[in-house]
Amino acid sequence: MTFQDKLIALKQQMFNAISTKDISFLYNLDKRIKINAEGIYNFETFSELHIYDFIRFLHKLESDKIYVVIPILSKNNTPSQPFIVLSQQFLITRKSNYWLITKHLYDKSEECGDLYDIDSSILKITLKYKEVKLDYNEYKTF
């Protein structure tokens, strides 16, 4: 198997594993993989965090792309007003485990409500997301 074949296999293996068994936090990504996050953020807001809404969101994503997500909690979903970042940035694909991610967002919003003594049910969860490209060129051997 050539280096290029190994690289293609690595890319596919990584793509299939992003946020499927555990949340793939950006800080856990191998430092030899460079991230190109140029581009404009998109936003998806959930008034209530229903699993079916999240499934619909995942199906809107392009099937061969990787996205970075910043989950945000806000009252009015107004960018000029204060908001709370729920967790570290994480990676998703269309194949990501919707149950795992929904549970993570729900748990973090509940934790935020407890921590700041606010009713998290009146807040909206917004996903700030955009496509990223991973550069594997730093890999020399496997």
pLDDT confidence of residue 41 = 93
Q: What is the largest CA-CA distance in the chain?
A: 57
**Cα three-residue angle 86-91-95, rounded to 5 degrees:** 120
101: which residues sit within 8 A by CB, 6+ positions away? 19, 23, 54, 92
Q: How much is the pTM?
A: 0.87
Q: Give which of 86, 72, 52 is closest to 124, Cα–Cα.
A: 72
Q: Give which of 5, 22, 42 is closest to 91, Cα–Cα.
A: 22
What are the pLDDT tens digits along the chain (142 aa)? 787 787 778 778 888 889 999 999 988 887 777 787 888 999 999 888 788 999 999 999 999 899 999 999 988 877 778 899 999 999 999 999 999 999 999 999 999 989 989 887 788 899 999 999 877 665 555 4
Give the separation between CA 88 and CA 31, rounded to whole angstroms.
Answer: 16
**Cα three-residue angle 58-14-128, rounded to 5 degrees:** 35
């946020």: which residue's tokens? Answer: 19
Give the separation between CA 56 and CA 142, rounded to whole angstroms.
Answer: 37
